């Protein structure tokens, strides 16, 4: 049985990845390392210690802590590292870039040094389409050969980490992959992000703030489709390669919000347009031909069905949502919209 160290495994995508792997037919064991910052929620995997006692273990730690991660690698006989750990919210990176550099760049370098020390079989860096910058409406989707033009401190920190990962492959022959995915949605997403924020506000008949005119376009992918691709790349991806992961679901933000309101049978009068944020990328779109051709992967969850299931999940898990909100995590976001 191979053992994967998943960093950031209490976050939205990381926790769904752990759930996906352990519910699959793969003979894999998971060690989850998470600092438990504001977006790391133990409730996402609260049943796992008992349910998967022989295949799952959690450590509270910082990926910048070389000595602690080093001890985990030795104790748990780690074969693979999948790095989900990151500060991810663009608005927060504008207000405080320092923590993004520390976690996303220094933390990644720490994990790379540990991987090199222990000759890890594969280091997989989970990145983002935002490192490519912004597309115009008629531009072709991003491919793996596009240059990197990050436009926010967040995307710049992720691009920096990607370059570090590539350098360790080229310089030290460390087996690595980088995945760059479009916007994720699904269960357990922290409610500062667009979809859960809109769902929560609509459920409570609060205003739905949309930047600018709502014409910014994102390509949406269900988190389970993303994680199926990450696992495929980890186990089958050619070392040194970058793989784009897309959902084939481009939507304007305003159209997405209207879909959510329609599902919830709420009035579009709840929509409120607010001042656009600095450096707001116009459009993201992903070409995933490479991973489809080389690894036989493609998205399987239709967005129309996926968004209905996601809205229903939040309706069915009001306690989870309220627990997050009652910890005052949303106060930052509400204040942020009032001041931008």
Pairwise CA distance, residues 8 & 103, whole Å: 11
- 129 given a catalytic annotation: yes
- 49 given a catalytic annotation: no
**Helix (H), strand (E), coil (C) string for the chain:** CEEEEEECCCCHHHHHHHHHHHCCCCCEEEEEEECCCCCCCHHHHCCHHHHCCCCEEEEECCCCCHHHHHHHHHHHCCCEEEECCCCCCHHHHHHCHHHHHHHHHHHHHHHHHHHHHHCCCEEEEEEEHHHHCCCCCCCCCECCCCCCCCCCHHHHHHHHHHHHHHHHHHHHCCCEEEEEECEEECCCCCCCCHHHHHHHHHHCCCCEEEECCCCCEEEEEEHHHHHHHHHHHHHHCCCCCEEEECCCCEEEHHHHHHHHHHHCCCCHHHEEEECCCCCCCCECCECCHHHHHHHCCCCCCCHHHHHHHHHHHHHHCHHHHHHHHHCCHHHHHHHHHHHC
**Active-site choice (80, 132, 154, 337):** 154
- 205 given a catalytic annotation: no
**Active-site choice (62, 129, 248, 281):** 129
Pairwise CA distance, residues 34 & 201, whole Å: 29
**Active-site choice (34, 62, 87, 130):** 130
Give me the active site residues, please. 129-130, 154
């Amino acid at each position: 049985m191979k053992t994967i160290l998943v960093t950031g495994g209490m976050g939205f995508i990381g926790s769904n990845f752990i759930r996906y792997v352990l519910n699959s037919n793969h003979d894999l064991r998971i060690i989850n390392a998470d600092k438990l910052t504001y977006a790391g929620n133990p409730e996402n995997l609260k049943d796992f210690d008992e349910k998967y006692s022989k295949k799952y273990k959690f450590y509270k730690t910082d990926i910048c802590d070389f000595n602690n991660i080093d001890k985990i690698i030795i104790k748990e006989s780690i074969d693979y590292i999948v790095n989900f750990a990151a500060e991810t919210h663009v608005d927060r990176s504008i207000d405080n870039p320092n923590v993004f550099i520390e976690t996303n760049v220094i933390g990644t370098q720490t994990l790379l040094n540990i991987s090199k020390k222990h000759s890890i079989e594969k280091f997989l860096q989970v990145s983002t389409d935002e490192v490519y910058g912004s597309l115009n409406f008629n531009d072709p989707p991003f491919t793996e050969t596009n240059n990197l033009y990050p436009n926010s401190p967040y995307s710049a920190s992720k691009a920096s980490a990607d370059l570090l990962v590539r350098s360790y492959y080229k310089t030290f022959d460390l087996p690595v992959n980088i995945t760059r995915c479009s916007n994720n949605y699904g269960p357990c997403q922290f409610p500062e992000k667009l979809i859960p924020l809109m769902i929560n506000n609509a459920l409570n008949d609060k205003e739905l703030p949309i930047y600018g005119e709502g014409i910014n376009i994102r390509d949406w992918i269900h988190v389970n489709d993303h994680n199926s691709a990450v696992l495929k790349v980890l186990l089958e991806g050619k070392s040194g390669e970058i793989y784009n992961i897309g959902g084939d679901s481009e939507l304007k933000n305003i159209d997405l919000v209207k879909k959510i309101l329609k599902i919830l049978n709420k009035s579009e009068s709840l929509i409120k347009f607010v001042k656009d944020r600095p450096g707001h990328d116009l459009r993201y779109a992903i070409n995933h031909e490479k991973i489809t051709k080389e690894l036989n992967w493609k998205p399987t969850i239709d967005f129309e069905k996926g968004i209905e299931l996601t809205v229903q999940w939040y309706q069915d898990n009001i306690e989870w949502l309220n627990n997050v909100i009652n910890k005052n995590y949303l106060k930052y976001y509400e204040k942020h919209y009032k001041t931008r």
